Amino acid sequence: MTWLKNRQITPFGKVTTDVIIRAAQEFGTPLYLYDESVIVRKCAEALSMPSAFGLTVRYAVKANASRALLQLIHAQGLQLDLSTLYEARRAILAGIPCDRMMLTSQQVPGGKDREDLESMIRNGLTYTVCSLRQLTLISDFASRHGIPLALRINPGVGAGESVTRNTGDNYSSFGIHLAALDRAAELIRDRGLTVRQVHVHIGSGGDPDMWRDNIDRELQITEKYFPDADTVNLGGGFREARMPDETAADIQVLGEHARDRFEDFARRTGRKLHMVIEPGTLIMANAGYVVARVVDEKWSGPTGFEFIIIDAGMEINTRPLLYGSRHPFYIVSENGTLLSSEYDLNAMKYELDFRVVVGRCCESGDSQSLDHQGHIIPRMMADPEIGDLFVIGGTGAYCSAMSLANYNSLVKAPEVLLRTDGTLRLIRKRQTLKQVVEDELALE
Ligand SMILES: Cc1ncc(COP(=O)(O)O)c(C=O)c1O
């Protein structure tokens, strides 16, 4: 029964069954485990995207903002895409200089926030205006200091993994809509502002063909409205394949298309535009795992399901509940044998059957396998023993960062990085109950 021992559990990197066992023994379950070798490789993949006149890659910090990861990703040569002033402050705490940051936010900073924003801009942060109000509020400061701006546009066409991940159509409030661009251009002219960078992010995990088609749309907008722009930011949103039957966006193919379109634009207009992308999912999704433990099992009768209860659920990986996303499952026995892997079901020596995986939250949506309407979808896997480890793949992006931690007063799970030398490094401690309640005030 040892043939599957110390085996790499996924096609993505260096995580083996031994690594899973070691991480669980050393840090307890549940935990998030990240594979440095995958992060480094994905950063290199993003940086190798073809472009016509130069490329800047900004890591979308919202995907995972853990300090060690920001430092690691920044050290690979990526700059940062930030969505809030808090993310910017967090990046500064991680030691990343403002001139490596771009802030594209729904926030309208006032008071101290406004002061901080202006100080960050003076230190080199690129500020993306996302509404007419933001444009009006920043205009005095920007024209007084001669600071060029970026401007986010909603092109009216978007694409996402789910309806809620589409940020480019008429249902989306992100950026200044195409229909309001005349007004924006007028304000820019009247207030003597310079827009250097045109920004569009149409959504996350959508159809790569729509991402490709957005390039021409954005170049047309740049040509019509932004004569001073020297940079076009195409956003993030590259679809990743977390499950074996999913297909990832091809960065090389998309880059080659972008290069052609930017070259064509240069031939027609004489303008050689710099290109920016802002991947989050691409860098982190398949670098991460949730390592959980099987704690119970139940059966809901002959017409029901076989449930496996693990010590991690919607509070650790909310994506199945939020988007109907699928993540690959792996089961590792307590002695380190790989009992089942959705990447290699045919090779499994153990009896497999359809089962449902649920967490500990008092919520019927707390399952790791749901469709877009929230219906439970059983999945093929081995029959684990209580105490075996249940691993959920594809959980590096929008899992720890988007967790519903503290629901049911569950504490936030620790984060561990598998270094390229094989060592395990704790990069976030497990939260304590004391930390959960420390800001609460008693009546007496
Ligand atoms: C402005 C912006 N850029 C980049 C991203 C990153 O998207 P993804 O993680 O799909 O690459 C997002 C995600 O919401 C975003 O809003």
| CATH code of the domain covering residue 206 | 3.20.20.10
Q: Say yes or no: 332 and 272 in one domain.
A: no
Q: Is the distance from the beta carbon of residue 201 to the nearest atom of ligand 1 less than 6 Å?
A: yes
Predicted pLDDT at 9: 83
pLDDT of residue 4: 52
* Residue 177, SS3 per DSSP: strand
Do 30 and 56 reside in the same domain of the chain? no
d(CA 368, CA 374) in angstroms, rounded, equals: 10
Residues 65 and 24 in one domain: no
pLDDT of the residue at 1: 35
Number of domains in the chain: 2
Q: Is 60 in the pocket of ligand 1 (CB under 6 A)?
A: yes
Dist. CA 233 → ligand 1 center (Å): 12
Tell whether 104 is covered by a domain: yes
3-state SS class at 339 = strand
**Residue whose CA is closest, atom 5 of ligand 1?**
236
Each residue's pLDDT tens digit, 221-238: 999 999 999 999 999 999
Q: Is 2 among the domain residues?
A: no
DSSP of 393-434 = ES-SSSSSTT--TTGGGPPPPPEEEE-TTS-EEEEEPPP-HH
Q: Which of 165, 278, 283, 322 to mutate to test the pocket of ligand 1 (most atoms within 8 A of CB)?
A: 278
DSSP run (H or E) holding 299: strand 288-299
Say how far apart CA 159 and CA 204 lie, in whole Å: 7
6: left (phi over 0), alpha (psi -120 to 50) or beta: left
What one-letter code names the amino acid at 390?
F
Asked whether residue 383 is domain-assigned, the answer is yes
Which residue lies with its CA nearest to atom 16 of ligand 1? 201
Please, which residues bridge with residue 294 across strands? 310
For residue 204, how far is its CA from the centre of ligand 1 (angstroms)? 6
Distance 237 CA to ligand 1 centre (A): 5
Give the residue from 234, 254, 283 where a domain finishes: 283
Would you say the CB of residue 279 lies under 6 angstroms from ligand 1? Answer: yes
* Run of H or E residues at 104: strand 101-104
Ligand 1 atom 13, closest CA:
204
Q: Are residues 293 and 261 in the same domain?
A: no
In a domain, 193, yes or no: yes
Distance of CA 187 to the CA centre of its chain: 34
Same domain, 309 and 236: no
Ligand 1 centroid to residue 387 C-alpha, Å: 37
Q: Is residue 8, in this structure, part of any structural domain at all?
A: no
Do 269 and 301 lie in a common domain? Answer: no
Residues 81 and 177 in one domain: yes
Look up the domain containing 324 and give its range: 17-34+285-437
Q: Which residue, of 283, 307, 323, is where some domain finishes?
A: 283
| Same domain flag for 299 and 416 | yes
**Claim to verify: residue 222 and residue 354 sit in the same structural domain:** no
Nearest 10 degrees: CA dihedral of 165, 167, 171, 172?
A: 120
| CA dist., res. 118 & res. 394, Å (int) | 37
**Is 372 domain-assigned?**
yes
Q: Is residue 75 part of a domain?
A: yes
pLDDT digits (tens, 9 = 90+) for 384-424: 999 999 999 999 999 999 999 899 999 999 999 999 999 99
Query: What is residue 199's three-state secondary structure?
Result: strand
Question: Is-contact 130 177, C-beta < 8 A?
Answer: no
- State in Å: Cα 221 to ligand 1 middle: 20
**289 in the same domain as 279:** no
Nearest Cα residue to 358 out of 334, 392, 394:
392
Helix ranges (DSSP H) in 48-131: 67-75, 85-93, 111-122
The predicted structure's pLDDT at residue 7:
77
- Residue 353 lies inside a defined structural domain of this protein: yes
**Helix, strand, or coil here: 384?**
coil
Residue located via tokens 């200091």: 145
Residue 143, sorted as left (phi over 0), alpha (psi -120 to 50) or beta, turns out to be alpha
- Residue 314 belongs to a domain with what CATH number? 2.40.37.10
Last residue of a domain, one of 262, 283, 304: 283
The residue ranges of the chain whose pLDDT is under 70 are: 1-5
Write out the two tokens for 326.
């699928």
Q: Same structural domain for residues 362 and 330?
A: yes
Q: So what's the pLDDT on residue 303?
A: 92
SS3 338: strand
Residues 337, 224 share a domain: no
